[in-house]
Chains A and B, each alone.
Chain A
């Protein structure tokens, strides 16, 4: 590990084929089963990547690379003036590698300012944990980070 490391990396194993998991990264209906309230995704280079994660926090960027069933790369940031991680300033690369009957999902989030690395790593822990459940067809339940209306 060097001081130049500017990314966080996470890895989960999903009990499904890469072909099954891939749409959970590119299809708005499927991605919101594990992350986000609404999503606008245009999975082609330059296409929009925009997810309202909680009803209050919008993650926004653009797809860079889409290699069916093995790799998705998109830029990432928050639509807010008061963040160090503005839209397009960081990059997320997700690779799918089949291994036996399951698939290893590796996520690397690069170009993050040092102060924002830990929180984003924890965010991906949270959401990849939900992907592991959603990608095999189960319900990860409501996202505890989702904004709820008063009284509900």
Chain B
């Protein structure tokens, strides 16, 4: 919603009629504190837009996270496979 354009908190809230205004503000504040959204005030309005560099950082982090986890999974699974392929009488 805010990737390519600024939107006001009210405009964002209008897309989520089942969420209260205070709760929307809380979510936006968390994303802003995390640096994923940039906020500027204009009168009583708060305008939000995504921060592409930070989103790219997050994307890289998540990809690296899963790369690491998947490598670990592969290693563990291979170890398990070798262990179970050794016949019982040859185990120490």
Q: Which residues of A contact B (CB under 8 A)?
A: 53-54, 56-57, 78-83, 115-116, 118-120, 122-123, 126, 144-148, 150-151
Q: How far is the CB of B42 from chain A (nearest CB, A)?
A: 9
Stretch from B5-13, B50-58, B72-80 that touches the partner: B5-13
A147 surroundings in chain B (CB, below 8 A): 25-26, 29
Are B26's CB and A145's CB within 8 A? yes
Contact A150/B13 with A54-B26, A56-B46, A145-B20 known, Cβ cut-off 8 Å: no
Are A56's CB and B25's CB within 8 A? yes
Cα–Cα distance between A15 and B19 once the two chains are bound (Å)? 29
The secondary structure that dominates the B interface is helix
Are A119's CB and B29's CB within 8 A? no
Tell yes or no: B2 within 8 A of A by CB: no
Cα–Cα distance between A116 and B16 once the two chains are bound (Å)? 10
17 cross-chain CB contacts under 8 A:
A54-B26, A56-B22, A56-B46, A79-B44, A80-B9, A81-B44, A82-B10, A82-B45, A83-B10, A115-B14, A118-B17, A120-B20, A122-B19, A144-B26, A145-B22, A145-B23, A145-B26
Cα–Cα distance between A82 and B13 once the two chains are bound (Å)? 10
Q: Which of B9, B11, B14, B20 contacts A122 (CB 8 A)?
A: B20
Q: Which of B8, B13, B45, B46 contacts A119 (CB 8 A)?
A: B13
Cα–Cα distance between A146 and B10 once the two chains are bound (Å)? 17
The 7 closest A-B pairs by CB, nearest first: A82-B10, A145-B22, A123-B20, A82-B8, A150-B33, A56-B25, A54-B22
A83 surroundings in chain B (CB, below 8 A): 10, 21
Cα–Cα distance between A147 and B25 once the two chains are bound (Å)? 8
A80 surroundings in chain B (CB, below 8 A): 9-10, 44-46
Tell yes or no: B89 within 8 A of A by CB: no
Q: A54-B26, A80-B44 are in contact. List 14 more A-B contacts (CB 8 A).
A: A56-B46, A57-B22, A78-B21, A79-B44, A81-B45, A82-B8, A82-B9, A116-B17, A118-B18, A119-B19, A119-B21, A147-B25, A147-B26, A148-B33
Cα–Cα distance between A56 and B33 once the two chains are bound (Å)? 14
